[in-house]
Amino acid sequence: MNNKKKLETYELLFKYFGPGESETTLADVAVALGCTSRHARTLLQQMSALEWLMWQPEPGRGKRSLLVCNQEPINACYQLMGDALEAGKHESVFKLAGFNDRHVSSELKKYLISSTQHNSQAIRIPFHREIKTLHPHYALDRTERHLILHVFQRLTEDDFGEIKPSLAHHWESDEEGMNWTFYLQSGVQYQDQTPMKVEDIVLSLLVLINNPYWRPLYEHIEKIEVLSPESIRISLSRPDWHLAALLGRSEASIMPSQYGRLIINPEAPVGSGSFMIDIASSRLFRLKRNNHYSGKNALIDCIELWIHPDWAKDKLCSEGSFFLDQPEQVYTAACNDVGYFYMMIKKPQLRERIVSKAIIDVLQEKRLILGEIYYPITFSYDDNNECRYYAQLLNQALANHQHVISTCVSFGEQQKETDISLGGIRIEGCSLTSLLAFFYTYSLWSQILSQPLYQKLLALLHQAQATQDKQQAEGVLRSILTWLSDDRILTMIRQESFKLTAPLKIQGIRVNNVGWCDFSKLWVKSH
């Protein structure tokens, strides 16, 4: 008999004789379980071996025996789930959670809450979808990019706006900001304990530069030279005083040479970051501490993302949580500068002041009907709950319109044919390089803007990179947002924020504008 069936049998028995002590006969047990007395005896022995119950039979036919139900059926289930988890049988955990037709996602969450309370070396997080590729050049979703920051290293890293050393311990540029030298740590190992070579760094960056999506952001990198095993020089075609910050972004992660050449790696990626991938299944994604990390080791042994699609309906992009204790024993940490939700108007007719104002009013729930539009309209929206909600508002406002086509797209997917796009600008780490990434990777500017305005956009982007003062450079980029808003091309619907809710015992949370927190700084308070 499999464990799920044993649980179902024990729960049936518990309904008749639990909790605690009962005096009964073997025949009564057989009736309750719907089997023969002989089989009932076997079942009692099996459940007794699991310590779910105690059975003290009295000799003689018809004599009453002592039956003690030691624990609630759900606790017996948790015991088996813990055993399965320890044995690496993660699929069994999901099956056990659904014993006797229970709702798997809710029971799984209850178990993980319970297990988190008694485990100081694992932090468990509910998640609503399977983790996609963690190849730094192809991962565009926020969570995947956050995980990449932990699995891989970069030349630099962003620490709440401050650019700090990582693989490079120092860097310098010439007086024009055109030639940059990075001095590298020695002795860095990947998680499989193979040494990182300077050639890995060069190849990772060269492959990045030639990636179709990221090329516009990095195309000013003209040449990368190896000066020594511990130093490289990066030469640019135009000044960029913020190159060090740019190379701290997720897509600029350094990979082993053989991995950098692949579009999709069939195996778990190997990096040199603070965590390594232990399990990457459709049900569970587990990070384990990398004890060979060249930086400061993570405080926690492992981070687990438990995955069930039923958790998607309540998941907002702006919210996340760890498995929680009782509601009064939790706290919330927040970051208010994670990005923006925007409306991009590509069709000139829709940029008329009255029309664009009416659309924004709908998206901000100030009006219900769009009567100003009498022509066919198409729009796309990013695949997240917030943009889906904006799309719903727009569709409802155009309910009496006969020619409306809406399309859901992945982040970074740009559709030429649509009249309106509803999407997001992500602020990941450095706000300056995040805005540069948005402007450079949006490939349709040359179609949306006239040629003179497109050249103006490029000139302002180059000016921002050539401006040494960070605040002034960011001011140039924000002036672009103001210009596009005044021309009713790009309008911010609202600012995006993010909050994490966690039990009081989980310490070290500081929400970053990637939309998570630094996993390596988390720890569990044991008392």
Q: Where in the chain is the domain with CATH 3.90.76.10?
A: 142-260
Pair 517, 431: CB distance under 8 Å: no
376 or 248, which is more confident = 248
Pair 260, 269: CB distance under 8 Å: no
Cα 341 from Cα 473, distance rounded (Å): 22
CB-based contacts of 250, cutoff 8 Å, min separation 6: 136, 139, 145, 146, 148, 149, 428
pLDDT tens digits along 455-477: 999 999 999 999 999 999 999 99
Phi/psi for 297 (5° steps) reads -65, 150
SS (H, E, C) 352-412: CHHHHHHHHHHHCCCCCCCCCCCCCEEEEEECCHHHHHHHHHHHHHCCCCCCEEEEEECCC
pLDDT tens digits along 75-92: 899 888 888 887 878 788
Task: State the pLDDT at residue 266.
Answer: 47
Residue 235: Cβ within 10 Å count: 14
One DSSP character per residue, 405-441 reads EEEEE-TT---SS-SEEEEEEE--S-HHHHHHHHHHH
Q: Where in the chain is the domain with CATH 3.10.105.10?
A: 335-496
- Pairing between strand 404-409 and 377-382? parallel
One DSSP character per residue, 167-220 reads SEEEEEE-TTS-EEEEEEPSS-B-TTSPBP-HHHHHHHHHHHHT-TTTHHHHTT
CB-based contacts of 304, cutoff 8 Å, min separation 6: 122, 123, 124, 125, 284, 285, 286, 287
Q: Which CATH class is domain 1-71?
A: mainly alpha
Task: State the pLDDT at residue 406.
Answer: 93
Strand order in the sheet with 179-184: 168-173, 179-184, 231-236, 221-228
Cα 253 from Cα 258, distance rounded (Å): 14
| DSSP assignment letter at 312 | G
User: Averaging pLDDT over each range in 233-247, 280-294, 296-310, 407-421, which range is the top one?
Assistant: 233-247
Tokens of 443: 């490939």
Low-confidence winner among 52-56, 63-67, 132-136, 267-271 (lowest mean pLDDT): 267-271
Q: Which CATH number fits domain 335-496: 1.10.8.50, 3.10.105.10, 3.40.140.10, 3.30.565.10?
A: 3.10.105.10
Please say if the pLDDT value at position 253 is more than 80.
yes
Low-confidence winner among 62-71, 217-226, 318-327, 426-435 (lowest mean pLDDT): 318-327
CATH 3.90.76.10 fits 142-260, yes or no: yes
C-alpha 123: how far from its chain's center? 15
pLDDT tens digits along 102-132: 878 778 877 776 666 555 678 888 888 899 9
Q: Where in the chain is the domain with CATH 1.10.10.10?
A: 1-71
The radius of gyration of the chain's CA atoms, rounded to the nearest angstrom, is 29
Confidence of residue 240 (pLDDT cuts 50, 70, 90): very high
Average pLDDT over residues 341-369: 92
